[in-house]
Amino acid sequence: MFNYKEIMQQGLWQNNPGLVQLLGLCPLLATSSTLTNALGLGLATMLVLMSTNLMVSLIRHQVPNEIRIPVFVMVIAAVVTAIEQLMHAYTYALYQSLGIFIPLIVTNCIVIGRAEAFASKNAVLPAIVDGLMMGLGFTAVLASLGAVREVLGQGTLFDGADALLGSWATVLRVELYQSDSHFLLAILPPGAFMVLGCLIAAKNAIDLRHKKRRQQVKTITRARVTHSAGAETATGGN
Amino acid sequence: MSFRIASSPHNHSQQHTSILMRKVALACIPGIAAQCYFFGYGVLIQLLLAVITAWASEALILHWRGKPVLIRLKDHSALLTAVLLAVAIPPFAPWWIIVLGTAFAIIVVKQLYGGLGHNLFNPAMAAYVLLLISFPQQMTSWLPPQSLQAQQQHLLDPVCTVFTDFSCAGYSLTQQKTDVDGMTMATPLDTLKTDLAAGRTVSESHQHKIFAAIGGIGWNWVNLAFLAGGLWLLQQKIIQWRIPLALLGSLALCSLLAYLIDADRNGSPLFHLFSGGTMLAAFFIATDPVSASTTERGRLVYGALIGLLIFVIRRFGGYPDAVAFAVMLANLAVPLIDYYTRPRTYGHRPKGAH
């Protein structure tokens, strides 16, 4: 029985591709200037991850070990091409605004990384779940980065959401504040690096707090035990 | 009872950080006075806002980091950052520009990198770059010198403009920038750059009223005042001669070469030396002991690199002045410069000798 909860934790938090592995930085930084673009690329990457993990897992016994990487890359390229054609057909505006970064999913290290590290060694169902969770983790980071940058740089949220979700989505657009002089840095690449740095710092701070709390609980239980190792060293110091 | 054993060198300099920083800030006074005289007292409002913001954000982040607040505030490094940023930005920029910039300089550039002594970049210049690329319109709106202004400045105009974007009589900053001939004025460097881009020659560009003096009216005196402050710092042994001399020398050499090759398309060396932020950069910004090179030969290289970059960006770049970009790029090169200019340890052979 496979531990799906573990896969979920790894993908969404402990081994998050955006915040911990720092993989796929190029699309992460280039397409996260608005929430819509970020969500679009995140979802596309997630679809690619699930499909490639599925296929790689299916063929894992047939592929000779020596040429596995070229085979994986060709599987990934085929899937990405299919996704690109689908986006071209159904979300044309988004396809245009994401541009070169859709075909570039092929070179995204997360995809080849998961194929090599997980899918090529595990059964089909865990591989799909892993792809889904890694993709969700990546999308979450991308979307929060996009949201922060869009709010700072344009004062809006979900600007152009209709390009991703269809014409009804124009109602999603929120105008948070109106300003003549936008904070251009947030939209420019250096802003992406800074916001990503803040996100990573926030994640580390949360982890640290959890760790401290767990340690505190431990020391309390130990203090109740008489003649514990800690008490002895404390008295021995005098 | 403990005997403190101090390691060598035992010859102790009495220059504490706080005295050093205070003297550098004091040396800015002539430059600030010149700016007040030619461009109105807006710079004083910017100074006030910057110092308040710097102290507040320094205290706040020191409190967060669990460090002693008062001792660190007393070293005056935050004050100096605030002063340098305030004299660098346009005196009539809206109040939130300087508040945002100073907070960024202290919180992100200085304290997030570990506080005083750990910052890779000069905080004031990093903040200036942030402001310049985020708000290019506000950051390039320098008023013409008062003698060339069409509208008579009201006594309270600097206050009104900084806090409401309009003068007390209701003129916008663009209207205030208009000179007596009804032309919108820019800084001398900006004017020259625009004219050269439009295909005019330097001598044609110098027909503008602002070029009545070398470096531009007002700007030459501001630069001379900063030069005077810098010379006082040299005399007080707060800064060493290497960085300023190398910077000014390399800028003068580059601009002289360009001027000799094509005098129609390049400003004269004197123009480059006494316009924009050259003197401020040479004596006050590039000499920051934290972000500059630490070896003697390295300081020469570092200064010369900044001078070269200032010339290259002014001549070929997209922005009229280049001090902030040049200093930041040179800051990035400092570890490399330091690595290759390490002084020979006493008793060891020079490199290559066997």
Tell me, what's the ipTM?
0.74
Choose, out of A177, A181, A204, the residue to mutate when testing the contact with B (most B CBs < 10 Å).
A181
Give the chain A residue whose CA is nearest to the CA of B137.
A181
- The domain in which residue B21 lies consists of 16-142
Q: Which residues of A touch B99 (CB under 8 A)?
A: none
pTM of the predicted structure, to 2 decimals: 0.82
Scanning A130-189 for CB atoms below 8 A from B yields 181, 183-185, 188
pLDDT at A231 over 50: no
Given B87, B111, B142, which residue is the final one in a domain? B142
**In a domain? residue B282:** yes
H or E element, residue B315: helix B296-316
> Tens digit of pLDDT for each residue in B154-177?
777 777 778 877 777 777 777 776
Q: For residue B9, is the peptide bond before it cis, meaning its omega torsion is within 30 degrees of 0?
A: yes
* Model pLDDT, residue A234: 44
Give the chain A residue whose CA is nearest to the CA of B96.
A181
Q: Which residues of A touch B137 (CB under 8 A)?
A: 181
**In a domain? residue B349:** no
State whether B333 and B204 are in the same domain: yes
pLDDT confidence bin for A219, thresholds 50/70/90: low
Give the chain B residue whose CA is nearest to the CA of A194.
B108
Any chain A CB within 8 A of the CB of B328? no
Any chain B CB within 8 A of the CB of A13? no
Q: Is A156 helix (H, G, I), strand (E, B) or coil?
A: strand
Any chain A CB within 8 A of the CB of B37? no
Q: Are A128 and A50 contacting, i.e. CB atoms less than 8 angstroms apart?
A: yes
Backbone phi and psi for residue B37, each to the nearest 5 degrees, phi listed first: -65, -45
State whether B209 and B306 are in the same domain: yes
Tokens of B183: 């032309």
Please judge whether A185 and B134 are an interchain contact, meaning their C-beta atoms are less than 8 angstroms apart.
yes
Please judge whether B133 and A188 are an interchain contact, meaning their C-beta atoms are less than 8 angstroms apart.
yes
Q: Are A72 and A116 contacting, i.e. CB atoms less than 8 angstroms apart?
A: yes
| A50: Cβ contacts below 8 Å, ≥ 6 apart | A128, A131, A132, A135
Q: Are A44 and A121 contacting, i.e. CB atoms less than 8 angstroms apart?
A: no
State whether B91 and B200 are in the same domain: no
Please judge whether B108 and A194 are an interchain contact, meaning their C-beta atoms are less than 8 angstroms apart.
yes
Please judge whether B130 and A185 are an interchain contact, meaning their C-beta atoms are less than 8 angstroms apart.
yes
Distances (CA, A) of B234 to B230, B279, B328: 6, 13, 23
Tokens of B243: 């960085």
Q: Are B242 and B300 contacting, i.e. CB atoms less than 8 angstroms apart?
A: yes
Q: How confident is the model over A109-116, as a mean pLDDT?
A: 89
Give the chain B residue whose CA is nearest to the CA of A184.
B134
**In a domain? residue B147:** no
**How many structural domains comprise chain B?**
2
**In a domain? residue B278:** yes
Q: Is B237 helix (H, G, I), strand (E, B) or coil?
A: coil
**In a domain? residue B311:** yes
Q: What is the rounded CA–CA span in Å between residue B164 and residue B176?
A: 14
Q: Are B24 and B232 contacting, i.e. CB atoms less than 8 angstroms apart?
A: no
Hey, which residues does B178 pair with through a beta bridge?
B184
Q: Which residues of A touch B133 (CB under 8 A)?
A: 184-185, 188
Tokens of B80: 């100096």
**In a domain? residue B327:** yes
Please judge whether A181 and B108 are an interchain contact, meaning their C-beta atoms are less than 8 angstroms apart.
no
Q: List chain B pLDDT tens, one digit each, 354 residues.
A: 566 666 666 666 666 888 888 899 999 999 999 988 888 888 999 999 999 999 999 999 999 888 888 888 888 899 999 999 999 998 888 899 999 999 999 999 999 888 888 889 999 999 999 999 888 888 888 877 777 776 666 777 777 778 877 777 777 777 776 666 666 667 888 888 888 888 888 888 777 777 777 777 788 889 999 999 999 999 988 888 999 999 999 999 999 999 999 888 888 888 888 888 899 999 999 998 889 998 989 999 999 999 999 999 988 888 888 899 999 999 999 999 999 988 888 887 766 655
* Model pLDDT, residue B83: 94
Q: Which residues of A touch B135 (CB under 8 A)?
A: 181, 183-184
Please judge whether B134 and A183 are an interchain contact, meaning their C-beta atoms are less than 8 angstroms apart.
yes
**In a domain? residue B150:** no
State whether B117 and B214 are in the same domain: no
Q: Are B186 and B141 contacting, i.e. CB atoms less than 8 angstroms apart?
A: no
Could you give the count of Cα atoms lying within 13 Å of A97 in the half-sphere of its Cβ?
20
Q: Which residues of A touch B138 (CB under 8 A)?
A: 181
Give the chain A residue whose CA is nearest to the CA of B94.
A181
- In 3D, which of B109, B93, B15, B120 has the Cα closest to residue B58? B109
State whether B205 and B328 are in the same domain: yes
Please judge whether B130 and A181 are an interchain contact, meaning their C-beta atoms are less than 8 angstroms apart.
no
Please judge whether A184 and B138 are an interchain contact, meaning their C-beta atoms are less than 8 angstroms apart.
no
**In a domain? residue B36:** yes
Q: Which residues of A touch B130 (CB under 8 A)?
A: 185
Work out the number of other CB atoms within 10 angstroms of the CB of residue A203: 17
Q: Which residues of B touch A185 (CB under 8 A)?
A: 130, 133-134
Q: What is the rounded CA–CA span in Å between residue A154 and residue B99?
A: 20
Q: Are B58 and B78 contacting, i.e. CB atoms less than 8 angstroms apart?
A: yes
Q: What is the rounded CA–CA span in Å between residue B273 and residue B310?
A: 11
State whether B26 and B84 are in the same domain: yes
Please judge whether B134 and A184 are an interchain contact, meaning their C-beta atoms are less than 8 angstroms apart.
yes
State whether B192 and B131 are in the same domain: no
> Tens digit of pLDDT for each residue in B323-353?
999 999 999 999 999 999 888 888 877 666 5
Given B85, B117, B142, which residue is the final one in a domain? B142
Please judge whether A183 and B130 are an interchain contact, meaning their C-beta atoms are less than 8 angstroms apart.
no
Backbone phi and psi for residue A156, each to the nearest 5 degrees, phi listed first: -130, 170
**In the A/B pair of chains, how many CB contacts fall below 8 A?**
14
**Whole-number percent of chain B with pLDDT over 90:** 41
Give the chain A residue whose CA is nearest to the CA of B134.
A184
> Tens digit of pLDDT for each residue in B188-226?
888 888 888 888 888 887 777 777 777 777 888 899 999
